[in-house]
Each structure stands twice: as C-alpha cells, then as structure tokens.
Amino acid sequence: MAERKYVPEKIFVERGSLGFPLTEKILGKLAHIPTEIITRQEEITAHYKKLRDPAGEGKKHMLITQQKGDFVKPCPCTPGYLGCNYFIINADLNCPLDCSYCILQLYLSNPLITVHVNADALWRQLDYFLSHSPNRFLRIGTGELGDSLVLDHITQRSTELIAYFRSKPSVLFELKTKTVNTDNILSASASENIVIAWSLNSDVIAQKEEKGAPSVMERLEAATAVSKRGFPVAFHFDPLILYSGWEDGYEEIIDALFTAVNADRIAWISLGSLRFPPALKDIIKNRFPDSRIIYEELVRGEDGKLRYFKPLRLRLYTTIVNQIQNRVGNRVPLYFCMESGEIWRKVLKKEPKGKEAIENYLSLPFRYGR
Amino acid sequence: MKLEETELNRIDFEDDRFRISYYPHLERLKRSIAEAGLLNPIIIAARGRYCVIVSGWKRALACRDLSFSSIPCFILEEKRDLNAFQLAVLENSTTRDLDFLELAVMFKKLKVFGLEEQTLLETYLPFFGIPQTQTHLDTYLAAADFDAETKEFIHVKRVSLPVIQHLMELNTDERTSLLPYLRHLGQNKQKEFLEFLLDISKRDSLPVLEILASDAIADVIQSLILPSRQKADKIRLLLKKRRYPSYSAKDDAFESSLKKISWPEDISIDHSPFFEKEELSVRFTFKDRAEFIEKVERLQKIASTAQIAEFLKSISDG
C-alpha cells in the first residue's frame, strides 16, 4: 500500500495563534489548503458536536491553536488497575487515522485535528517538569491523544522533540505511531534514550479495524529502518482483540516482528486487551456497522470500562506472551497496560508492587546498559 | 386572532395535522369543563370547508365528549401550516411539559411542514432542553414514525432514550413481538433485554425473531403457568446467558460448587462483579456473641475441608 500522508481539507487558525513559527511552518507547507481565521476555537467546535458523525467530520479539518492547559501530564491510566508511571506530552490532539476502537472518538468537545503551536510553552513546561523530577528515570511520550508521527510531515514535531530529549539522558522519550511517516526520524541522529514505537495488531484486525493506517508489514518495515538507523524501538500490542483465528493471526505478526527487528534493540513490548468506556460502544456501532469487536464477551471492569471477561483475557495474554517468549525468551521486557496485579502474576509470573516498580522494570536496561 | 363561538360540527376532528398528543386523559379536564365551562378558548384555523384544531385538542375532545354544540375559539387567519403549527408549538410549550413522544411528533410535523432540520437542531432542541446533537434529533424523528403500539408503549411506560434507540434498530414485527415482554420490565431491564438481544443478533448474524424462537426461550414464551412478568425476566436471563457464555458458565459453576460444599444458607458468599477481582466476600449477621462464635466456627470448619480449597482454586483458575 502506498503511503498516504494526511492533508486536511481545511485549516482553522485561532487568531491568537498566528505568528508562531509552527503556525507559519504549517501554513507554508499547506498553502494550497483553504484557511479560515477564527477568534476562538469554540466558534467551530460547537458546530462539530451537532453533526451526525463529529469524529469523522473532525478528522477532515485541522485546528491551529495554543495549548492553554498543561502540555505534560501523568498518564491517567485507569482506576483499579496497575499504572506504569508514564508521562504524556499533549502536543497534538486527535488523529486522522480511523480505528474503530479509538477512545478519541469520545472526545467530542473538540474532534478536529488539533496542533498546539505554542512550542515555547512546551519547552518551558518540560524544563520545569524535568527539573522537578530528579533522581528518577522518567518515561515520557506523545501518542496518547494522537498518533506521534501522523502529522510529522507537516509539523516536524519529532525533529524538535528528539533534539530536546537527546540532551536528557535520564529521560526515556517515546514516539508512538501506526504510521510509516518516518522521514524526519530517519534523518535525525539516533539516541539510546529515544524510543520509536509502533502499535501492532494482527493483519485481520489492522485491515478491518484500523482504517487509514498502513498495513502491519509496512509498519514493521518502517521499524526495521528506524532500528537500523540506531534508535531503540518498541511495540504495543494494544488493543489485542479476540476474533475467530486470533491465535494464528497474532503469531504471524510476532514471527514477522522478530524476523524484521533484532530483539535486542526492542526497548519493550506492551500488551493490552480491548477496553473502552461503555459510551464508546454506540459510537463504534454507528460509525463502524460492520465491526464485530463490540459483540465479544466484554464486561464491566473495576474502572467501569468494558473489557474481556477475565478468563478470556488470561488466555489471550498467556498465548501472546508464550508466542513472544518462545521466540526471544526474556530478552524483551514485556508489560501490561491497564491490567491488574493478578494478570501480571498469572501471565508474567511477577506482580509489581505499584507503578514505581513497573517504571524501574522498564527503565532498568537503559540505566545500566542494554 | 378573532374570538368566536364556533359550532363543534364545523371542526374537522379527523384532521390531526396540528395534533401532538395522542393519549389524552380527559376525565379531570371533563369534570372541570362541566363545572366551570371552557375557560381557555382553543385555537382553530380554516382549512377548506372546515376548521382544524391548531391548539387545544384535549379541550376540544373533552367538550365533544360532554356533547357541547359550540365552544369559544380563537380563529387563526394564518394559511401556512408551518406558521400555524409553530404557534401551536409555542402555545403547548408554555402551558405544560411535553413528553418524549409529543416532542417527537412535534419535530416530525415541523419537518413535514417544511422546517429545515438545521433549524430544528439549532432552535427547537435547545428550546426544549434537549442536547443539540444530530443523534438526538434522529432519535426523535425516528420515534415519530414508530407504529401505534410502540408509541403507546413509549408513552405509557415513559421509556428511556437508550431503550428507544434500541427499538429503532428493530423492525415493526420485531418490536411487536417484544412489547408484551418489555411492558413488564423496569427501564434498566428493558435496556438490558434489548441490548443482549441485539448484540446476539449482530454477533451470530441471526434475526431477532429467530433468537426468540430458540428452544429455551420458546419454552418460556409458551409456558402456561408463568405470568407475563416472570416470562419477561426469564427471557432476559436466558438472553444474558447467551450473550455472556463464559461468564454465565463460571457463575453457574460458582453456584453449583457452593451447593456441593454445602455452603450454609445463612452466610452469604459473593464474588466481585464479573469475577474481575480475586477476592470473595463473606457476609453474615449475628445478634449476640454466641451466634457470632457459632457462625465463625462453622466457617472455620468449612475452611479446613479439601473441597473449599478445590472451590477456591477453581475460582482463581478461571
């Protein structure tokens, strides 16, 4: 599949965001795209909320604005399950890819592809945050409220972030993507503390549920190139999804992964099973009528989100972990995203004592050499 | 508007173009009118040889039931139905709260009379305190097209929005088949019933009526002993079992294990919702020290058996 890079159909620029270098860069690169100057973002976001498909319509348009809140936040994880002390950078919001299971579809207050251009505030906040977190090996990344690289051909955000974090060796910085938009990464100098990560899934799920995303093989090709460039890479099997034939489907990708990438260059692999707030179910039903993922045995978890009934999760995780460990043993650190201590204990045979323990477990190889 | 005493036989009661309430309770109104007369004139408009009621359907019907030959009416000169109906909407909305179905019919008629959906969305939804989303408007417009039986059900049972949205996913035959059971359930159980059914239908690619015709459910439906309320709840539980087979199997195993180990009936033992947590909880009441000791000793005795170890392992193993 040829790579299709995102181009918005229209750009809205908040008047107060004009003049920022990133605004100028975007408007320069997308000079052929109709642009409208607005006073406040609420002027247009209110319109999208009324539409039949706010999430789908919002993806077509870009909003250039400023981050008025905090760029850097602790990853909220989910109540009742083990967190990993990760921090997120909310540089951009929303994603033009259209994955059926994506939680961002619920963020109806602003469904537009939003770029926060006040980078000076980002660097200031990062400086402050890092200076107030001494004696810790922090893990931080973009990619929580949007794909880290999907806009990179427009914003070149990765170039600046990599340049910033290269000089912060006690911080593990992660860019997380489903795309192959890696030109800027491949032209940057690698650094051991900068991890480029891909979300992976089985081919069947990628094709059916990850509309607009490159195939898994293409993602692995991109990961190979980035790894060869010298960056550590990471992979997120999240969300793992049950379907008829899932065991073979995931095994195929795990095989392909370890054929494509040297396991010793993999910083970590995370596993998480499908989970979402109940309100997302109707959105998936309406926006993706052919999807069947919401009809599996999903029950309310401790956090109120729908997730697979625990014995099904255990089987899913045990199978995937075995498939990984049969190939590479314990060479790659594995962790769960938003899971219970019981799942950790029963599948990975270890139960971290809190989020600091997971933070240590994942950063240990970086602190003492890999 | 002119006020005129109008013969009731000049009013076309068959023409309900401006009517929004179809389930009037007229008894109290009739008693009041019989005693004090019609204090608030209704609004009518000339259409062809007759007049049609623009606002005041209940009052007009009550007067007709009371065999009045004429009533005071305001005569609206407006020829355009949309304008006349917008007046009726205003009049209705200021005198009482409108229920879901009345609003649904009102929005539908406004649309039929030529009002743009955008205006409904921008003006009417917020006016009635409804979230300004296309999904909400779609739900109201779809409900207005429901068959009479479903509409009556929605009106009488004050059905919730999520249930109405589930009803939209069914065709008329399916809805008609389900209403006898849904009528006997509270709002949460109505929602569960439909959610289980629709999920199974999508998951297994089976028509809803075929699921209802499955052996276990058909047995319940055909039962001559079970009252309708119990039938409705039994069907809901059967649907739940089919929707969540692994969970139901585990729950059944939990219950049957308790029987096998003769767990005392006066001490309750519960697992967490959907067995998500490993912990079980035990609860009992006691009125004095002796009863407390007696129950604790019984629990200790159970705790020392091999069966309880096996039971706990089976819960933990999943």
Interface confidence (ipTM) of the complex? 0.90
- Contact at CB, B244 and A312, closer than 8 angstroms: no
Q: Which of A40-54, B160-174, B211-225 has the lowest mean pLDDT?
A: A40-54
Same domain (yes/no): B138, B166: no
Pairing of strands B280-283, B268-271: antiparallel
Q: How many CB atoms lie within 10 A of CB B138?
A: 15
Q: Measured between alpha carbons, how far is B101 from B109 in angstroms, rounded to an integer?
A: 12
Mean pLDDT of A31-43: 95
pLDDT at site A50: 87
Looking at beta carbons, which residues of chain A come within 8 Å of B244? 297, 299, 309
Residue B265 lies in a domain: yes
From A52, A295, A310, residue closest to B202, measured CB to CB: A295
DSSP state of A105: G
pLDDT of A263-275, one tens digit each? 999 999 999 999 9
Q: Are A29 and A6 in contact (CB under 8 A)?
A: no
- CA nearest to A233, candidates A251, A257, A201, A212: A257
Q: Measured between alpha carbons, how far is B113 from B50 in angstroms, rounded to an integer?
A: 20
pLDDT of B265-296, one tens digit each? 999 999 999 999 999 999 999 999 999 999 99
To test the contact with chain B by mutation, choose from A243, A287, A293, A309 the residue with the greatest count of B C-beta atoms within 10 A, namely A309
Q: Are B70 and B38 in contact (CB under 8 A)?
A: no
Q: Are A98 and A212 in contact (CB under 8 A)?
A: yes
Counted residue by residue, chain A has a size of 370
Q: Measured between alpha carbons, how far is B12 from B8 in angstroms, rounded to an integer?
A: 8
Residue A1 has pLDDT above 60, yes or no: no
Residue B155 lies in a domain: no
Q: Which residue of B has its CA nearest to A244?
A: B203
Q: Measured between alpha carbons, how far is A241 from A243 in angstroms, rounded to an integer?
A: 6
pLDDT of B70-86, one tens digit each? 999 999 999 999 999 99
Same domain (yes/no): B5, B57: yes
Give Cα A336 distance to the centre of its chain.
Answer: 15
Helix axes B148-157, B100-112, angle to 10 degrees: 140
CA distance A58 to chain B (A): 15
From A294, A295, A309, residue closest to B247, measured CB to CB: A309
Mean pLDDT of A123-127: 96
Provide, rounded to the nearest whole percent, the portion of chain B with pLDDT above 90.
90
- Contact at CB, A49 and B133, closer than 8 angstroms: yes
- Contact at CB, B276 and A297, closer than 8 angstroms: no
From A300, A312, A340, residue closest to B246, measured CB to CB: A312
Residue B150 lies in a domain: no
Residue B163 has pLDDT above 50, yes or no: yes
- Contact at CB, B276 and A301, closer than 8 angstroms: yes
Maximum distance among all Cα pairs of chain B, rounded to whole angstroms: 91
Mean pLDDT of B30-43: 93
Helix/strand/coil for A273: strand
Domains of chain A: 66-93+117-367 (3.80.30.30)
Which residues span the domain enclosing B136?
97-145
CA distance A338 to chain B (A): 13
Same domain (yes/no): B2, B35: yes
Q: Are A130 and A168 in contact (CB under 8 A)?
A: yes
Same domain (yes/no): B133, B198: no
Compute the mean pLDDT over every residue in chain B, rounded to the nearest whole number. Answer: 94
Looking at beta carbons, which residues of chain B come within 8 Å of A340? 276-277
Q: Are A203 and A186 in contact (CB under 8 A)?
A: no
Phi, psi of A88 (to 5 degrees): -115, 150
Provide, rounded to the nearest whole percent, the portion of chain A with pLDDT above 70.
98
Provide, rounded to the nearest whole percent, the portion of chain A with pLDDT above 90.
85
Total domains, chain B: 4
Q: Measured between alpha carbons, how far is A302 from A340 in angstroms, rounded to an integer?
A: 9
Cβ-Cβ pairs closer than 8 A, A with B, add up to 57
Query: Which residues contact residue A11 at a Cβ distance below 8 angstroms, ignoring those fewer than 6 apart?
Result: A26, A27, A30, A33, A34, A35, A36, A61, A62, A63, A64
Residue B74 lies in a domain: yes
| Boundary of a domain, candidates B243, B273, B301 | B243
- Contact at CB, A302 and B276, closer than 8 angstroms: yes
Query: Which residues contact residue A367 at a Cβ distance below 8 angstroms, ignoring those fewer than 6 apart?
Result: A137
Q: Which residues of B255-288 are buried (b: 16+ CB within 10 A; e: fewer)?
A: eebeeeeebeeeeebebeebbbbbeeeeeeeeee
CA distance A111 to chain B (A): 14
Q: Are A40 and A109 in contact (CB under 8 A)?
A: no
CA distance A309 to chain B (A): 7
Residue B214 has pLDDT above 80, yes or no: yes
Same domain (yes/no): B28, B72: yes
Residue A128 has pLDDT above 80, yes or no: yes
pLDDT of B218-245, one tens digit each? 999 999 999 999 999 999 999 999 999 9
Q: How many CB atoms lie within 10 A of CB B213?
A: 13
Mean pLDDT of A101-123: 93
Same domain (yes/no): B86, B173: no
Tell me the torsion sign for CA atoms B103, B106, B110, B112.
positive
Residue B182 lies in a domain: yes
Residue A114 has pLDDT above 80, yes or no: yes
Same domain (yes/no): B115, B136: yes
Residue B248 lies in a domain: no
pLDDT of A152-193, one tens digit each? 999 999 999 999 999 999 899 999 999 999 999 999 999 999
Same domain (yes/no): B185, B125: no
| Boundary of a domain, candidates B216, B243, B270 | B243
Residue B210 lies in a domain: yes
Same domain (yes/no): B133, B56: no
pLDDT of B121-141, one tens digit each? 999 999 999 999 999 999 999
Query: Which residues contact residue B155 at a Cβ distance below 8 angstroms, ignoring those fewer than 6 apart?
Result: B22, B23, B99, B101
Query: Tokens 């109120």 map to which residue?
Result: A304
Pairing of strands B2-7, B50-55: unpaired
Compute the mean pLDDT over every residue in chain A, rounded to the nearest whole number. Answer: 94
Counted residue by residue, chain B has a size of 318
Query: Which residues contact residue A17 at a Cβ distance below 8 angstroms, ignoring those fewer than 6 apart?
Result: A23, A64, A65, A66, A117, A118
Q: How many CB atoms lie within 10 A of CB B131?
A: 12
Residue A197 burial by Cβ neighbours in a 10 Å radius (0-12, 13-18, 19+): buried
Same domain (yes/no): B92, B120: no
Query: Tokens 């049957």 map to which residue?
Result: B256
Residue B249 lies in a domain: no
- Residue A73 tokens read as 């936040």
